[in-house]
C-alpha cells in the first residue's frame, strides 16, 4: 500500500478493511468502488469541520495540516471618484446612475454609492459601459432615495470583500500591512458580529469627518456576513497615498478532493484514520455489525491525532489551551483572557 501515500493506497486499504474486493489481479469489483474517493474526501473534511460522523461527535480542530499556506490576503482598494471630479446623474426613485467618464471604465459591481447629503448607501448590482453621452450606466439594488441632481459630489466604494475559495474558518484577526502607525493595537482588524458592526459603524451615517463612523479612511473592524464574504466598518480612503493596503490572516482551509494520485492533506502518520472512516461507512451502508468496530478504530485514531496536536502545542507555547470567551459581541480594540491571551474567533 506504499504506506498510504496516495488516494489509491487509501482506497485499497478501505476496501480491504471493509472486506470488499479490490478489483485487481482478477478480483471482482466492489459495489462501492466508485464511491470510495468521494467518501475519503468526506471523512477528511469532517475532521476539519467537525460534527456528527457515525456514532462519533467530532469537534472542529485547527490542525496544523489544515492551515492555509500561504495565508489569506485581501487588498483594500481606494474608492472610485476619490478626487470627486467625475460627474454622475442621479434621479429620485430611479435604479440607474449615469457616470460621465468615457475611458478607463472600472468595474463597480458590488460597490456602494455614497453621497454625503443622502443616508442611503445603495449597492451597484450591474454595469453597462459606453452608453450615450455618459461613459457607463450603473444599476442599483434599490431605487435612489436622494434628490435628482448631476454633480461630482459622490464616490463608489467596496465595503465587502471575498474570502479565499477554500476558506473554512479564520484563526487570527486581519493583520494590516503598510499601516501608517507603529501602534500595535492599530495593526490589525478584529472580526465581530454583523449586527454589532452595523450598530457601532452604521453605513447610513449622513455626515462626518474622514475617519469617523460610516465614512472613509481605514477600517477598524469587520464582520463575516456570508461563508465567502467579509464586510468592513469603513472603506479605505487615503488620498495622500492612493494605493491599496494589504491585509493578511491565518485560516483553516478546506482540504482538496482526494483522487487516485492525490496526496491527502492529513499527515501520513495518521492517514489511516481515513481508511477506517470509509470502511465504517461501507459496512454501515451494508448494515453490517462490523461497522461499530471500525467506528471505534476511527475514533481511537482521531483521539491519538488530537492528543499529539495538543501535546505539540503545549511544548511550543506557554499560552496554549487557555479557555477563550466568545468575542462575537466584543468591540474593543482587542479582547483578552485573564492570562493575557488575545481572543481570536471568526
pLDDT digits (tens, 9 = 90+) for 16-29: 999 999 877 777 89
Q: Is the pLDDT of residue 266 over 60?
A: yes
Q: Is the pLDDT of residue 133 over 60?
A: yes
The pLDDT score that the predictor gives to residue 188 is 86
**Sign of the CA dihedral with 342 first, then 313, 278, and 291 last:** negative
Q: Where does the pLDDT of residue 55 fall: very low under 50, low under 70, confident under 90, or very high at 90 and above?
A: confident
The pLDDT score that the predictor gives to residue 293 is 94
The pLDDT score that the predictor gives to residue 185 is 46
User: How far are the Cα atoms of 37, 154, 311 from residue 229, in angstroms, in the given order?
Assistant: 30, 25, 34
CA distance 192 to 189: 10
The structure's pTM equals 0.82
* CB within 8 Å of 109: residues ≥ 6 apart: 124, 125, 126, 127
User: How far are the Cα atoms of 54, 85, 99 from residue 112, in angstroms, in the given order?
Assistant: 46, 18, 14
Mean pLDDT of the chain: 86
Return the CA Rg of the chain: 26
**Could you tell me what percentage of the chain is helix, strand and coil, using 3-state DSSP and rounding each to the nearest 5?**
25, 25, 50
Q: Which residues pair with 223 in a beta bridge?
A: 192, 231
Q: Is the pLDDT of residue 102 over 80?
A: no
The pLDDT score that the predictor gives to residue 17 is 95
| Nearest alpha carbon to residue 162 among 226, 110, 244, 229 | 229
Q: Is the pLDDT of residue 180 over 60?
A: no
Amino acid at each position: 500500500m506504499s504506506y498510504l501515500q496516495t488516494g489509491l493506497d487509501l482506497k485499497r486499504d478501505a476496501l480491504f478493511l471493509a472486506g470488499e474486493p479490490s478489483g485487481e489481479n482478477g478480483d471482482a469489483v466492489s459495489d462501492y468502488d466508485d464511491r470510495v474517493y468521494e467518501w475519503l474526501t468526506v471523512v477528511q473534511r469532517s475532521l476539519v469541520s467537525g460534527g456528527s460522523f457515525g456514532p462519533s461527535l467530532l469537534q472542529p480542530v485547527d490542525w496544523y495540516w489544515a492551515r492555509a499556506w500561504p495565508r489569506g490576503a485581501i487588498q483594500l482598494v481606494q474608492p472610485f471618484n476619490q478626487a470627486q471630479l467625475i460627474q454622475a446623474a442621479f434621479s429620485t426613485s430611479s435604479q440607474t446612475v449615469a457616470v460621465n467618464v468615457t475611458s478607463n471604465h472600472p468595474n463597480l459591481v458590488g460597490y456602494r454609492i455614497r453621497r454625503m447629503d443622502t443616508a442611503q448607501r445603495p449597492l451597484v448590482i450591474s454595469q453597462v459601459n459606453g452608453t450615450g453621452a455618459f461613459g457607463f450606466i450603473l444599476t442599483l439594488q434599490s431605487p435612489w432615495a436622494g434628490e435628482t441632481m448631476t454633480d461630482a459630489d459622490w464616490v463608489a466604494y467596496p465595503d465587502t470583500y471575498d474570502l479565499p475559495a477554500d476558506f473554512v474558518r479564520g484563526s487570527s484577526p486581519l493583520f494590516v500591512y503598510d499601516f501608517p502607525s507603529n501602534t500595535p493595537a492599530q495593526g490589525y482588524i478584529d472580526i465581530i458580529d454583523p449586527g454589532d458592526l452595523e450598530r457601532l459603524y452604521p453605513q447610513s451615517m449622513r455626515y462626518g469627518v474622514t475617519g469617523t463612523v460610516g465614512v472613509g479612511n481605514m477600517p477598524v473592524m469587520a464582520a463575516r456576513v456570508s461563508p465567502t464574504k467579509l464586510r468592513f466598518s469603513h472603506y479605505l480612503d487615503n488620498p495622500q497615498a492612493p494605493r491599496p493596503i494589504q491585509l493578511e490572516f491565518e485560516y483553516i482551509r478546506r482540504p482538496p478532493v482526494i483522487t487516485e494520485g492525490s496526496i491527502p492533506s492529513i499527515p501520513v502518520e495518521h492517514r489511516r484514520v481515513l481508511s477506517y472512516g470509509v470502511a465504517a461507512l461501507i459496512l454501515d451502508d451494508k448494515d453490517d455489525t462490523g461497522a461499530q468496530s471500525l467506528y471505534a478504530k476511527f475514533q481511537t485514531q482521531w483521539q491519538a491525532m488530537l492528543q499529539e496536536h495538543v501535546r505539540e502545542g503545549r511544548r511550543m507555547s506557554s499560552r496554549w489551551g487557555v479557555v477563550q470567551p466568545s468575542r462575537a459581541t466584543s468591540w474593543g480594540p482587542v479582547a483578552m483572557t485573564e492570562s493575557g491571551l488575545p481572543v481570536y474567533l471568526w
